[in-house]
Amino acid sequence: MLYEYYLHIFDKELNTTQVKVLPFKIPKLEHDALIYQEDKSLFFYDKLHQHEEIQVSYIAEGTGTLIVGDTINDYKKDDVLVIGANLPHVFKSEVNGNTISTMITLFFTKDAFGEQFFSLEELRDLHPFFKRSPNGFKVSNKAEVFQSHFLKLKESTKLERFIILLELLKLLSRGKYATLSSFIYEKKYTDIEGKRMRDVMEYTINNYHKNISLDAIATVSAMTKNAFCKYFKKRTNKTYFRFLTELRVENACKLLVSNEDYSIAEVAEKSGFNNISNFNRQFKSIKEISPSLFKKNNAL
C-alpha cells in the first residue's frame, strides 16, 4: 500500500527503525508544490496520522469510517473529502471480499505556491475553502463534476494538475458541505504523543465491539487512569467513553442499513452494547432518532 511504502521510505531517510505515524510526512520531489497520489488496496492506511499539507481526496471505490479530530464520520464511493493541515485522522475501511478501495488525492500547503498567492484579489473566491479546511469537510453535492476533475489527474501534466486544483478549490468554495471535525487541538502532536494516540485509536477501532475498561485503555496509553482521562479530553474535547460510544453507534448505523436480517438486539450486541435499553438510549442521544426508526428510514 502506498502510505505504508512511503512511511518506510521516510523512516530510512531518518535512519531509524521505528515507523513514525505522527507527524506524517507526505513524500515529494524537492521542487514539487502540489502532490498527486492514488491509493489502491483492500483498505486505506489505517493508522492515526497528520501532515502539514491540506488533503483533498476523492473516494473512487470503497466505504468505511473516517475519524477526523474529535468526530466520527462515514465515507463512501464518490465522496469528496477535505482534511485540513495537521488535522489528525484515520480511515477504517470496510473490507468487502476482494473489492479494491481507491482514493485519489491532491496534497498542498497554503503557501506552497508562495506565501501571498492565495491572498491575490483574483483568487478571492477561494477564501471560503481556506476558512472551512482547518476542521475538514465533506462535499454534499455535484459528485459527477468532481469525479470528472479527479479522474483527469492521473494522465495530466503538472501544469494541468495545478489548473485542476484551482477548479476544484472553486467548486469546494461554492458547494454545499458538512464539517468533519467540531474541535481542533491547536498544538501539533510530538512523536511520543502521536504514538500514544495512534495506539489508543488502533486499540479502540479493533476492539470497540468488546467490553473496554478504563484500566485496559489506560494501559494501552501507558498512563494512569486519571492522567489518561485528562489527556484524551484535552486533545479531543470529549471523554474517551463518549468517543467510544460514538464509534459504536456509527458501526450500528452501518449494520442497521446493510444487514436487514439483524434484529435491533443483535446490532446492539455486535456494536459493543451490553443491553438493548442502553443501546437505544445512547443511539438516540447521538443520532436524535431511535435505532428502529433509523433502520426504517434508511431501508435499502
| CATH classification of the domain holding 100 | 2.60.120.280
Is 194 part of any domain? no
90 and 227 inside one domain: no
Q: Is residue 23 over pLDDT 80?
A: no
163 and 254 inside one domain: no
Between 220 and 187, the more confident residue is 220
Is 237 part of any domain? yes
Q: For strands 177-179 and 64-68, give the pairing.
A: unpaired
Between 248 and 188, the more confident residue is 248
* Domain assignment of residue 37, given as a range: 2-179
Q: What SS3 string covers 44-104?
A: CCCCCECCCCEEEEEEEECCEEEEECCEEEEECCCCEEEECCCCCEEEEECCCCCCCEEEE
User: How confident is the model over 104-130, as pLDDT tens digits?
Assistant: 999 999 999 999 999 999 999 999 999
Q: Is residue 51 over pLDDT 80?
A: yes
- 31: confidence class by pLDDT, cuts 50, 70, 90: confident
- In this structure, the number of other CB atoms found within 10 A of the CB of residue 97 comes to 5
Report the C-alpha gap between 293 and 96 in whole angstroms. Answer: 26
Q: Is residue 89 over pLDDT 70?
A: yes
pLDDT given at position 300: 58
Q: Is residue 18 over pLDDT 70?
A: no
| CATH classification of the domain holding 217 | 1.10.10.60
pLDDT given at position 230: 96
92 and 165 inside one domain: yes
Between 229 and 31, the more confident residue is 229
116 and 256 inside one domain: no
Structural domain count of the chain:
2
User: End of a domain among 179, 200, 231?
Assistant: 179
* Least confidently predicted of 75-79, 93-97, 125-129, 214-218: 93-97
Is 189 part of any domain? no
Is 196 part of any domain? no
Residues in the chain: 300
Between 49 and 31, the more confident residue is 49
Q: What is the mean pLDDT of the chain?
A: 87
41 and 80 inside one domain: yes
139 and 265 inside one domain: no
User: End of a domain among 141, 159, 179?
Assistant: 179
- 199: confidence class by pLDDT, cuts 50, 70, 90: very high
User: How confident is the model over 284-298, as pLDDT tens digits?
Assistant: 999 999 999 999 888
Q: Is residue 8 over pLDDT 50?
A: no
Is 283 part of any domain? yes
Is 154 part of any domain? yes
pLDDT given at position 26: 61
170 and 224 inside one domain: no
Is 25 part of any domain? yes
Q: Is residue 85 over pLDDT 90?
A: yes
Report the C-alpha gap between 248 and 273 in whole angstroms. Answer: 8
65 and 128 inside one domain: yes
pLDDT given at position 44: 86
Choose the most confident range, by mean pLDDT, from 22-26, 31-35, 48-52, 117-121: 117-121
12 and 135 inside one domain: yes
167 and 219 inside one domain: no
* Least confidently predicted of 2-6, 28-32, 71-75, 200-204: 2-6
Q: Is residue 21 over pLDDT 60?
A: no
144 and 37 inside one domain: yes
Instruction: Decide: 38 and 103 in contact? Cβ < 8 Å.
Output: yes
Is 168 part of any domain? yes
H/E run at residue 37: strand 35-41
155 and 28 inside one domain: yes
